[in-house]
Structure 1
Amino acid sequence: MKRFIGILTILLLTVQFVFAGIITAKELAKLSKDGNVVIVSARQTSDYSKKHIKDAVNIYHKDLYKTEGISSMLKSADEIAKIFGEKGITENSKIVIYDNGSNKASGRLYWIFDYMGAEDVNILDGHLKGWGKVRGKVTPKATEITPATFNANPNAEVYADMAYVKAHKDEANVILVDVRSKDEFDGIDEDENITRKGHIPGAINFEYNNILNDDDTIKTKEEITEIVKNAGITSDKEIILYCASSVRAGIVYMALTSILDFTNVKVYDGASYEWNADSSNPIE
């Protein structure tokens, strides 16, 4: 009987990790010896070299971008899959991502992994600060990596390009959500890489940090449910998320799809960088 309860507990925890999208430092400490767990530092290489969670590999989101055109748009699926494989990651790995605490880089990677067909993607709640609280091991030493094969299976249902946004943004069943700050949304305080100020017509403003606590941990499901509901974002609609470069959109994507179980959410990859650069596109 005790063995059955133990097995059942493990199964329940596994289901929780798969669907919640968030893993605590305590949970990671228990799982870190699992050979299928891959911890991913989403920080810049210079930060990784100073200190990172023991056994973590490093993937900075900008390394997954095209080198020509809009600076923040994804490389081809084959190119990204090659990078993942070189980091020892397969589509079946249990992936745990962390960043400097802002949830921006980790959220972006979360969406990219999900788009690429990874089956089990999680963000470490509290990031390095949370890991330190459980006295988790850190090191400056680069992790030895055994290359693997990541079999890409891109999911078009979570990806939007500019043509898609143009064609669908005004439909009654679509909610276009700009997750930047209100000043950015209003064109007052804009990213220097955005040539024309303002937002895509019809978009609503929902700042990405609405779902975060003051210490940058993720708010509870109940809190996020209420916040999202009050913003007019509902699961019966198709949600298209964007920001300046869709880095901040990733953590909102995680919250909607993994915590609230929304089933129809896309991220506009080109975001304001692409939309506002095209003078034929309207902005408000």
Structure 2
Amino acid sequence: MAYTTIISAAELAANLHNSDWVIFDCRFSLADDTAGGKAYRQGHIPGARYADLNRQLSASVKSYTGRHPLPDFTALSRQLGDWGAGNRTQIAAYDDVGGAFAGRLWWLLRAMGHQDVAVLDGGINHWQKQKLPLTTVLPKIIPSHFRCYLDQQQWLSAAQVENALAANNITLIDARTPERFQGLQEPIDPVAGHVPKAVNRPFQLNLDNQGLFLPADQLNTQFQALINGRSPAQVAHMCGSGVTACHNLLAMEIAGLSGSKLYAGSWSEWIVNKNRHVATA
């Protein structure tokens, strides 16, 4: 069985020793970019490799980009092979914040043509609650070859977002907290507010009080109400830098609403151009 959206702790535990599987630890902190690596070394799911948001899952920041530009896909393909992942590998990714960072790897792999990738539902937190094992032992890796089949239709540029909003043929969903969306607080970026005409759905709404994804039917009902009759292909997701937006995209896939896209540069790229309008409240 292939897992393409989320995977339960029990399902992952049953495949820890499956040679056709590769697990990735995607823990990260925007406040301390060394925290994820430290947490990994202190204890991770057996066999997991550490994928760093800044080093492997993003390109270097430029004056015209957002905070987490899309990576060099050739370099990422090579890195995936070095990690032992091939095109027939089932990949599972986890973090400690409900999939906010693991969702980035999930989306990147999907854009690279790899469908068999899933986010661990509940992350390492739920894993530990189930009293499943952790280890400090680094995995023994047998390198593989990962071939990228990149689909550049999976994301939009700022210009494409501007044009689509002007033509009123897109729903742009922002995954940031209401305080940041409304411009009441902005702890990370130099400008507060949101893209005019965007709608707000904090990614945390996709999770229940246990940190697990809501049932597919509930997610479907909520997103259908948000996109108001539009097809998923007319939906784009954004956030601060194109990372947590992937969580909403994943939630729509779980809900059976396939085909939405990522505005990869997101808010931190939008505000680089002073001619782009900003809305508040």
Secondary structure, counterpart of 2:92 in structure 1: strand
- Structure 1 or 2, whichever has the larger Rg, is 1
Name the counterpart of 2:7.
23
- Asked whether the equivalents of residues 195 and 277 of structure 1 are also in contact (C-alpha less than 8 Å), the reply is no
Supply the RMSD in Å over aligned alpha carbons. Answer: 1.7
- Asked whether the equivalents of residues 207 and 214 of structure 2 are also in contact (C-alpha less than 8 Å), the reply is yes
**Alignment pair present for 1:248 and 2:244:** yes
Identify which of 28, 38, 51 aligns with 1:46: 38
Identify which of 117, 132, 139 aligns with 1:136: 132
How high is the TM-score relative to the length of structure 1? 0.88
Secondary structure, counterpart of 2:166 in structure 1: coil
**1:1-284 superposed matches below 5 A:** 14=1, 17-18=3-4, 21-43=5-27, 44-63=36-55, 64-69=57-62, 70=65, 71-192=67-188, 194-232=189-227, 234=229, 236-237=231-232, 238-257=234-253, 259-284=254-279
1:58 shift after superposition: 0.9
1:236 alignment partner AA: S
1:79-112 CA-to-partner distances (Å, cap 9, x unmatched) read 1112211211123210111101332111111111
1:167 shift after superposition: 2.2
Unaligned runs of 5+ in 2: 28-35
Secondary structure, counterpart of 1:214 in structure 2: coil
1:31 alignment partner AA: N
2:58 alignment partner AA: Y
| Equivalent residues, number | 266
- Asked whether the equivalents of residues 210 and 227 of structure 1 are also in contact (C-alpha less than 8 Å), the reply is no
2:60 alignment partner AA: T
- Asked whether the equivalents of residues 98 and 207 of structure 2 are also in contact (C-alpha less than 8 Å), the reply is no
Unaligned runs of 5+ in 1: 1-13
How high is the TM-score relative to the length of structure 2? 0.89
Which structure is higher in helix share?
1
